[in-house]
Amino acid sequence: MKCLTLLGSLLLMFAAGCKPEPAAPQTDVPAARSYDARGIVREIAPDRREATIQHQAITNFMGAMTMDFTVRNTNELQNLAPGDEISFKLLVTETNSWIESVRFLSHVIENVTNHIVIFHAPSAELKPGDPMPDFTLTAEDGRPVRFSDFRGRVLAFTFFFTRCPLPDFCPRMDLNFAETRNLLRAATEAPTNWQFLSISFDPEFDLPATLANYAAYYRQADADRWLFSVADTNTLARIAPLLDLMIKHEDNSISHNLRTVVLDPQGRIARQLDGNQWTPRQLADAMLAAARPHTNWSPD
């Protein structure tokens, strides 16, 4: 009887040992914060993966503005059109944002174009090979700086403002600049005549001291070939049509699109990267192509 009991115990232990271990919880997926929102559709991308929405203030997150939102489920935008008032949820992680649970509320009869564009003159937009006109900006240390100061170097510049709330807009531009700089510095045979310039379009808030504090986070106390600056309103009004840059002040924030430009050492447009889907590798390739127009280079 004792033998049978011992054998039974051993079988139970063996069976228990054969059970699969429970799956470890995933810890690398950042939790998304959810915000209820409401607004008017201004534009829907042809592939329905993006919608421009003029939204009301989003409680505990950001003020009213007009922005391009990513849509992961394209069915969310079925049967919607510009002028439709909608409710939706905005999901935000540390690096991304998107909308879901889109619901039609009503259709608003109005001229929607005026809500999106303040600076827009497509006929004036510069093309590759065109010289970039010279403009004066204010650097993070308070000194004036001009585009012509960087002649002889490949210059990559982008636009941002320090109060930008969505991680895949201005913060992504800054993170992409940081990673592109790492790629260029890691390539021992790459040219060294390159420079990054981040330009704020919020002159009332982004004073030099604010820019310097903001820059320290992204540059990690290393300002090598990366300058932060701000453009005044008159300068922005002249630059914006040249790059199809759109900016609109709404309540306490700014609606805008995204433009990143590469100038060759002669100050000519070499490449313009629109939106936020480009990668640091693509920018590095564009900068090195502008520095070495007749050679192929890879940051690997």
Give, in order, the Cα–Cα distances in Å from 288 to each of 63, 126, 254, 258, 284.
Answer: 39, 21, 33, 22, 6
Question: How does residue 10 score in pLDDT terms, banded at 50, 70 and 90?
Answer: very low
Q: Does pLDDT of 75 surpass 80?
A: yes
pLDDT the model gives residue 293:
63
Q: Does pLDDT of 37 surpass 90?
A: yes
Give, in order, the Cα–Cα distances in Å from 93 to each of 98, 164, 192, 231, 258.
Answer: 9, 14, 35, 30, 20
CA distance 208 to 39: 34
Type of residue numbered 104: F
- For the whole prediction, is pTM greater than 0.85? no
Q: Which pLDDT tens digit goes with each residue over 115-168?
A: 433 444 455 899 999 999 999 999 999 999 999 999 999 999 999 999 998 888
Q: How many helices (H) and strands (E) does the chain have?
A: 5, 14
Q: Which domains occur in the chain, in start order?
A: 33-115 (2.40.50.320), 122-291 (3.40.30.10)
| Out of 2-6, 34-38, 223-227, least confident range | 2-6
Mean pLDDT of the chain, nearest integer: 84
Q: Which position has the token pair 């509320």?
A: 105
Q: Residue ranges of the alpha helices (H) in 90-203? A: 170-186
What average pLDDT does range 60-73 have in this prediction?
Answer: 88
- Residue 243 host element (H or E): helix 233-243
Q: Does pLDDT of 83 surpass 80?
A: yes
Contact assessment for residue 243 and residue 253, using Cβ atoms and an 8 Å cutoff: no
Strands (E), the chain: 33-44, 50-55, 65-70, 84-92, 97-107, 136-139, 144-146, 154-160, 194-200, 226-230, 247-250, 253-256, 259-263, 269-274
For residues 197 and 246, the model is more confident at: 197
Q: Which position has the token pair 């998304």?
A: 32
